[in-house]
Structure 1
Amino acid sequence: MAVKNRELLPRSADSADKLIRKLTPGQKDTYIQDSTVTGLVLRVTPSGKKIWHLRYTVQVGSGQWIGRKHSLGAFCDGLRTRSARELAEEWRVRIRQGEDPQEEKKKLAEMRKAEHLREIAERQALRTLNDVAAVYATKLANKTSGHDDGGIHAMTILQNHLLGRFGSIPIKEFTRQHFFAAVDPVLAAGHNSMANSVLLYTKAMFRLAVKREFIEYSVLDCVEKADVGGKDKIRTRVLCATRTKEDELEELYKLLPESGLSRNLQCSVHILLGTMCRGIELFKGRWDHLNFDNSTWLIPDENSKNGDPIIIHLSDYSKKWFAELHKLTGHTGWMMPSVKSKDRPYMLPKVLSKAVCERQRDPDAPPKKGRTKNHSTLILPDGHWTVHDLRRTGATQMQMLNVTPDIIDACQNHRPLGSVRRRYQHGESMDQMRNAWDLLGRSLAAKADAHNQTV
């Protein structure tokens, strides 16, 4: 509780100043009234600060009077007694005329806040697409929540097709016309999927800009794939035989040894076929997750695309190629260790994807500088194929072997359709899954043996 000092400040301003300088703080706030100006008091805090206050009353509501206190300033900041009295008298006159210091203080604070917000808005208006892209790149590079490649792929697309042309434009001035001016040349070249990728990453960058309050809304919210490159086509390319196409796996087995692919990448092709895992799940795999004795390979949740762990049964076919790979990289902790990156211990699957793609160019095409000379060593009869087609090929081969779709989905670690099944059914059909992997492995091994017998 504050202590009220019975002593009044002297009428002489100079004497009052001398007295105030000698005042020592107590354990609680001490108030000393002025002897000249009604309502003027000096507050001495326990920390030694000496502050002038003006006490006054104002009428609120229907005739109700309430007491208020208004701080005028601190003695130690240069507000001496004479100046404090003059300031207090000025406020007393203004109070009698209907003004309220507290309301004035609120209005001043609101004005300052409005001015601050206006300055922020002006600064935000000056932010360019390049500024926002820098923030977006930092988000993608986050090792925990960002992209596996640190956002390099996404930022390269944005730089090549958007930022290089419109990066200096303030984001608030960017319109849909600017965006279509960026993607129209991509569409004209027939690269519809790339145009959709530009849309995907640009919309993500603008959503981030909205969340960071760089802009109030995204001008691209109403733009969909159908407005740009069209809906992505469902890829159906497989390498195994179906009822409508011939088998290409034997041809692949024939080409792989002479393709120029490193031995560990050749092993990865066989493993991707035999396990139907995703490329990133293999390339991020550790040897301590694989048990040769039990013929099992654990893909932990942090390596799985959907965050669900899975234990893959290794058929004799898959186990053979894992053993071959272990001879090459078993001395490291990683199945596919990186030899170039200092920040990432494992190789990115795009290394294999790029190597496979580069080996499917026209045989008459001139070799590209700095690229492989084996630029046509993996061409298959039915045309271009990708690494992800291996996963589709394994699933189709299982289907041709009469494995049921739900077991194929389970082997590929696809979540079951329907929220009820996902909520209540958490078991695994391990026996059926093990049999499915063994069927696939025996089928792949038979094709490999058929090729070896013809060589």
Structure 2
Amino acid sequence: MAVKNKALLPRSADSADKYISKQLPSQKDAYIQDSTVTGLVLRVTPSGRKVWHLRYTVQVGSGQWVGRKYSLGAFCEGLRTRSAREQAETWRVRIRQGEDPQEEKKKQAEQRKAEHLLEIERKQALRTLNDVATVYAAQLANKKKGHKDGGTHAMTILHNHLLDRFGTIPIQEFTRQDFFAAIDPVLEAGHNSMANTVMSYTKAMFKLAVKREFIEYSVLDCLDKADVGGKDKIRNRVLCATRTKEDELEDLYRILPESGLSLNLQCSVHILLGTGCRGIELFKGRWDHVNFATNTWLIPDENSKNTDPIIIYLSEYSKKWLSELHKLTGHTGWIMPSIKSEERPYMLPKVLSKAVCERQRAPDAPQKKGRTKNHSTLILPDGHWTVHDLRRTAATQMQMLEVTPDIIDACQNHRPLGVRRRYQHGHSMDQMRVAWDLLGRSLAAKADVYQPAG
């Protein structure tokens, strides 16, 4: 219960101020009534805080009167007796006229809230695409749930095709017309797959903007690939023989030594074919992950695309070409060391991809300044091929050798589908070893007659 103080505040405002200043706190709230204004009370809290209250009654419903209390302010914060009495008298007049201080306080709070929300909306309206891109880039760079490259690839695409042109536009003013203005040049150049990629990253960025309440909805939600670059085509280029095409591997082995590729890049082509691994997994590999005694190569989780480690069995074919590569780079610790070691210790796969692509131009094509003179040395009968086609070729060759699809997936470190992914975490190493050995034998039968150019 509150402590009831029978003393009244002095009628003189100055005397009342002095009286209040001398009041000491007790264990419970103490209330001191004013001697001049009816209903004006000073509350002294146990912490020593001294607050002015106005007690009053209002009519609610049909003839029912209820008592209420309204805080005017604190004595210790500068509200002295004279000012407190003036405020109390003013409110008493307004109360007699039908106003309620508490309801007024609620209205003011609601008005402040509304003004605050309007200010937030105003600031959000000024958020630009670049502002959202900064948040999106931070999400992509998250070490646990972001992209493995820290979002570098995605943000480069967004900057090149969207942000460099529209980055300063407020995101709430960005329209689908703006998006197509950015994407149409890509489509006109025939790069439909890149257009779809730009749309995918842009939609993801706008989805994040909705979640962060920068915008209420995304203007791109209604778009899909059919509206941009069309459905992505599944690439089916392989170099091995199938039931419908002739073998090109012998052609590749014949032209590879004279292609102008460096010896380490030639070795990498053979290793990618013999293991079926991804380019980044080879180029980021370390020699301490390769065990020539047990014929195994560990691809750790940090090098794997899906973060699942895998142990690859080295067939005699793969072991041979890894041994050749070890003679060249074994002293560095990295399987494919970078020349610019100050930037990164390993070479990027795009070095091989670019070299292969540049050597598939027409023989009569004009020489490009600063590019290789061997611009047509890797042309194969069935047309253009890429480094990633080597991985597809390895899988197809295994299939032609009657290796089961689940073992091929395991050899290429593809995660099982459905509930198998949730419950089956082992590996069929014996069957995988046989599959890699069969692949190596079939490749060696075609490659052994050709030797790499030094």
TM-score above 0.5: yes
Which range moved further: 250-259 or 101-110? 250-259
- 1:117-266 correspondence to structure 2 within 5 Å: 117-266=117-266
* Distance in 2 separating the partners of 1:72 and 1:134: 46
Q: State the partner residue of 2:385.
A: 385
Shift in alpha-carbon separation, 1:278–1:17, aligned structure 2, 3 A: same
User: What is residue 276 of structure 2 aligned with on the other side?
Assistant: 276
Deviations 1:307-328, CA, capped at 9 Å, x for gaps: 4332222222222333334444
- Counterpart CA distance in 2 for 1:367 and 1:142 is 44
Give, in whole Å, the separation in 2 of the partners of 1:98 and 1:214.
Answer: 43
Matches within 5 A, 1:310-389: 310-332=310-332, 334-340=334-340, 344-389=344-389
The answer (yes or no) to whether the contact 1:359–1:376 under 8 Å persists in 2 is yes
Query: Hey, what does 2:291 align to over in structure 1?
Result: 291
Cα deviation digits, residues 219-246 of structure 1 (max 9, x gap): 1111111122211111111111223323
SS at match of 1:451: coil
Give the alignment's TM-score, normalised by structure 1: 0.88
Q: Given the superposition, is the C-alpha separation of residues 48 and 345 from structure 1 closer, same or farther in structure 2, using an over 3 Å criterion?
A: farther
Quickly say closer, same or farther: Cα 1:34–1:339, change in 2 above 3 A: farther
Distance 1:330 1:167, change over 3 A: same
**Whole-Å separation in 1 of the counterparts to 2:261 and 2:6:** 96
Q: 1:207 deviation in Å?
A: 1.5
CA RMSD between the two structures: 2.9
Does structure 2 retain, via aligned residues, the 8 Å contact 1:149–1:348? no
Conserved? CA contact 1:295–1:315, under 8 Å = yes
- In the aligned structure 1, how far is the partner of 2:37 from the partner of 2:341? 77
Residue identity in the other structure for 2:127: R
- Name structure 2 gaps, 5 residues minimum: none
Distance in structure 2 (CA, Å) of the matches to 1:348 and 1:333 = 16
3-state SS in 1 of match to 2:378: coil
Q: Does the CA-based 8 Å contact 1:34-1:42 persist in structure 2?
A: yes
Cα separation, 2, equivalents of 1:256 and 1:33: 102
Distance 2:17 2:210 in 1: 56
User: In structure 1, what residue type is equivalent to 2:158?
Assistant: L
Please tell me whether the aligned partners of residues 40 and 52 of structure 1 are also in contact (alpha carbons under 8 angstroms): yes
Offset, 1:389: 0.5
2:434 is aligned with 1:435:
yes
Q: Deviations over 1:110-153 (max 9, x none)?
A: 21111111122122222333333333334334444433444343
Tell me how many residue pairs correspond in the alignment. 452
Structure 2 Cα separation of the partners of residues 330 and 3 of structure 1: 87
Aligned residue in 2 for 1:76: 76
For residues 375-426 of structure 1, what are the alpha-carbon distances to aligned partners after superposition, in whole Å with 9 as ceiling and x for unaligned? Answer: 3332222221111111100001111111122211221122334x24334444
Give yes or no for contact 2:257–2:451 (8 Å, CA) kept in 1. no
Residues 89, 393 of structure 1: alpha-carbon distance in 2 compared, 3 angstrom cutoff? same
Q: How far apart are the structure 2 equivalents of 1:226 and 1:90?
A: 69
Q: CA deviation at 1:10?
A: 1.4
TM-score, with structure 2 as normaliser: 0.88
Structure 1 window deviating more from structure 2 (231-240 vs 6-15): it is: 6-15
Higher deviation after alignment, 252-261 or 307-316: 252-261
CA distance in 1: counterparts of 2:182 and 2:409, whole angstroms: 39
The 5 A counterparts of 1:18-37 are 18-26=18-26, 29-37=29-37
Letter in 2 for 1:256: L
Q: Which amino acid aligns with 1:442?
A: R
CA deviation string 1:77-98 (max 9, x = no partner):
2211011011122223333444
Change in Cα spacing, 1:205 to 1:72, as seen in structure 2 (3 Å) is same
Mapped partners of 2:229, 2:339: distance in 1: 37
Equivalent-residue separation in structure 1 for 2:332 and 2:314 (angstroms)? 21
Q: Which residue of 1 aligns with 2:421?
A: 422
Change (3 A) 1:113 1:248: same
Residues in 2 aligned to 1:48 and 1:332: alpha-carbon distance in whole angstroms: 73
Residues 62, 325 of structure 1: alpha-carbon distance in 2 compared, 3 angstrom cutoff: farther
Alpha carbons 1:360, 1:378 under 8 Å: kept: yes
Report if aligned partners of 1:41, 1:52 keep a CA contact under 8 Å in 2. Answer: yes
1:109 Cα deviation (Å)?
Answer: 1.7
Distance 1:311 1:103, change over 3 A: farther
1:26 offset after TM fit, Å? Answer: 4.7
Give 2:12's aligned amino acid: S
- When residues 259 and 52 of structure 1 are mapped into structure 2, their CA distance, relative to the original with a 3 A threshold, is farther
Change (3 A) 1:356 1:12: same
Shift of 1:203: 1.6
Tell me how far apart the structure 1 counterparts of residues 254 and 63 of structure 2 sit (CA, whole Å). Answer: 101
Question: Are the aligned partners of 1:4 and 1:30 in contact in 2 as well (CA < 8 Å)?
Answer: yes
Letter in 2 for 1:434: R
Q: Does 1:394 align with 2:394?
A: yes
Q: Residues 443 and 72 from structure 1, CA distance in 2 versus in 1: closer, same or farther, beyond 3 angstroms?
A: same
Label 1:344 to 1:47 Cα distance change in 2 as closer, same or farther (>3 A): farther
Query: How many percent identity over aligned positions?
Result: 84
Q: Separation in 2 of the partners of 1:228 and 1:415?
A: 30
Distance 1:425 1:168, change over 3 A: closer
Q: CA deviation at 1:201?
A: 2.0
- In structure 1, what residue type is equivalent to 2:435? A
Structure 2 residue matching 1:306: 3-state secondary structure: coil
Contact 2:10 2:34 (8 Å CA) reproduced: yes
The structure-2 alpha-carbon separation of the partners of 1:19 and 1:231, relative to structure 1 and needing over 3 Å to count, comes to same
Q: Distance in 2 between matches of 1:15 and 1:354?
A: 91
1:332 shift after superposition: 4.8
Cα distance in 1, alignment partners of residues 331 and 27 from structure 2: 71
Tell me if structure 2 keeps the 8 A contact 1:300–1:310: yes
Q: Distance in 2 between matches of 1:44 and 1:149?
A: 62
